[in-house]
Structure 1
Amino acid sequence: MSSLPYAEVIGDPISHSKSPVIHNFWLETLGIEAEYRKTHVKAGELAGYFLKRRADPDWLGCNITIPHKIAALDYVDDPGGVRERIGAINTVACETGGPLIGTNTDAGGFLQPLLARKWSGKNAVMVGSGGAALAVGFALRSVGVTDLTIVARDAAKGQALLERLSFSGRVIDFSEPLHDTALLINASSLGMAGQPPYLPDLSPLSRNALVYDIVYAAQETPLVAAARERGLEALDGMEMLIGQAALAFDIFFDAQAPREMDEELRARLRAA
């Protein structure tokens, strides 16, 4: 009996990933005979991982999480110019006998809830300067943000990100207070399992500011909870998680994710 076609998510660590819950829920809902897994791949194992997987006829591709979103670019073809435009990938697609194609669904997943709300603004504050921040920064340009403040521990890395994204703005340390902004985004790992939360003083933000924490958790992150307590509109990480997964699902399984089932999916994610 042949095995099922499959896709997977890779990272280090990987035990926290909720991606299998999402994709397997959609596969089950749509009656598609395939599966989605998670696989622990360490930094020094990427080359061997891709070499082995591309020889597997059942492998449809993978999603990529911390810390491989930038390094994985070295092992894939990039026909869409993702390296130049964003600088990080989170999805690799594979067709039997063909090349490995790298792309990024983080940017689109991040944008979906903003576009649904018809959000507009010229300035934003973004926490983080890694692979996720690259995708978020790229997405911000497409909705009209022109001025970006980056909160980063490494000022040089933050400045390099500003320049790569061609934003005017500045880099501040975590010890510096926030200024009023249209949009505050946590695009760092702070708030993930095993990491301290990102919980700044939100008092400088006006009442119409939007707070967006891309970290997903079973419960509200402290940042989202603090924002809502102040009466601010807040988006949680499940918005981006489900949005980027839906784009990847179409790539892997050639089917549209049943987004009308999002509330049931969120309940499963909270329980997982």
Structure 2
Amino acid sequence: MAEAARKAFVTGHPIAHSRSPKIHGYWLAKYGIDGSYQAIDVAPADFATFLKSLGENGYRGGNVTIPHKEAAFALVDRRDEAAETTGAVNMLWLEEGALWGGNSDWLGFAGNLDEHAPGWAGNGPAVVLGAGGASRAVIHALKQRGVKDIRIVNRTLARAEELSHRFGACVSAHGVEAAAELLADAGLLINTTSLGMHGDASLAADPAGLPDHAIVTDIVYVPLETPLLAAARARGLKTVDGLGMLLHQAVPGFERWFGMRPQVTPELRRLIVADIEGETAKR
């Protein structure tokens, strides 16, 4: 008897904007795998019921995005180390009757920099702008790669302090008024806030004060070049856009659900860039 087609999903609320179906659909076609990956809009009130029905609906697992990452953390049976550390789940899979939750966002962040700025982890200290959910994955990646001085800068100091306590040694919390001083010797500047998204011209921080060897990256990928990255490039600094984080975080999930470790290729990037540019042109 032939094996049933493998099924996976991405869920959020809303979810129509997600590019994950294009990414996974590209890989399914490229590797000739009989499977599907679809976007499913699930309201927060229905999320627990949705998770309980995954197996009976034939799903091997899926991705979780806003606003369900913290709810998924609470509802899964077991979690991987990265999910435990960050307090957020973006990847689900069924294994021996248990629903597992993992976090691959940190692997996406690290994989993007590995591809476009090899050796980046030796470039610390690091300044992380923002203390929301995305910053947790970034801080975890920095710690996993051995960055010894990680400085969180956030408008609400208490949020930054909460993260510094969560991640412990090497991680410090600061208000935005300290940014200029903190950038003076920083080798990595990472924006995890929404500033610069969808045509917002605000600068998350001024890269003018960074050393010449600094690398600047932004997890925002619409637009691909945010005001922060444009200012850093004009200053002659190495910049890395946020699209690669989205592409690389998708790799571990695809491997779990479909049994093949996919490659992030220039062709895949071009496909998603064209989609972004098409959306931007409609605005």
Output the TM-score relative to the length of structure 1: 0.88
Structure with the higher helix share, 1 or 2: 2
Q: Does 1:172 align with 2:175?
A: yes
Q: 1:99 to 1:62 in 2, by over 3 A?
A: same
1:270 equivalent to 2:251? Answer no
**Equivalents in 2 of 1:25, 1:235: separation in Å?**
23
Output the CA distance in 2 between the equivalents of 1:17 and 1:76: 23
Tell me how many residue pairs correspond in the alignment: 267
Tell me by how many angstroms 1:198 deviates: 4.4
State the match for 1:43 in structure 2: 44
Contact 1:129 1:157 in 2 (8 A): yes
The answer to which of 136-145 and 3-12 deviates more is 3-12
Mapped to 2, the partners of 1:195 and 1:164 lie a distance apart of 31
SS state of the match for residue 70, structure 1?
A: helix
Check whether the contact 2:78–2:98 (CA below 8 A) recurs between aligned residues: no
The answer on whether the counterparts of 1:127 and 1:151 sit within 8 Å (CA) in structure 2 is yes
Give the Cα separation in 1 of the matches to 2:212 and 2:270. Answer: 29
Residue 99 of structure 1: aligned partner:
98
Q: CA deviation at 1:196?
A: 6.6
Cα deviation 1:181-229 (Å, max 9, x = unaligned): 1111112233444877544321111111101111222542222222212
Aligned partner letter, 1:12: H
Secondary structure at 2:138 match in 1: helix
2:20 match:
19
Q: 2:123 is paired with a residue of what secondary structure?
A: coil
Alpha-carbon distance in 2 for matches of 1:62, 1:206: 41
Q: 1:182 aligns with which of 184, 187, 194?
A: 187
Deviation at 1:175, TM superposition (A): 8.7
Q: How does 1:26-175 map to 2 (within 5 A)?
A: 26-57=27-58, 59-95=59-95, 98-116=97-115, 117-119=118-120, 120-166=122-168, 167-173=170-176
Code of the aligned partner of 2:166: R
- Over aligned residue pairs, what C-alpha RMSD do you find? 2.4
Cα separation, 1, equivalents of 2:249 and 2:137? 11
Report the Cα offset of residue 131 of structure 1: 2.1
One-letter amino acid matched to 1:179: L
**Cα distance per residue 1:89-119 (max 9 Å; x no partner):** 1100125x71111011111111124345022
Distance change >3 Å, CA 101–CA 228, structure 1 → 2: same
Q: Is 2:126–2:189's contact at 8 Å kept on the other side of the alignment? A: yes
Please list, as runs of the form range in 1=range in 2, the aligned pairs for 1:218-257 lying within 5 A after superposition: 219-257=224-262
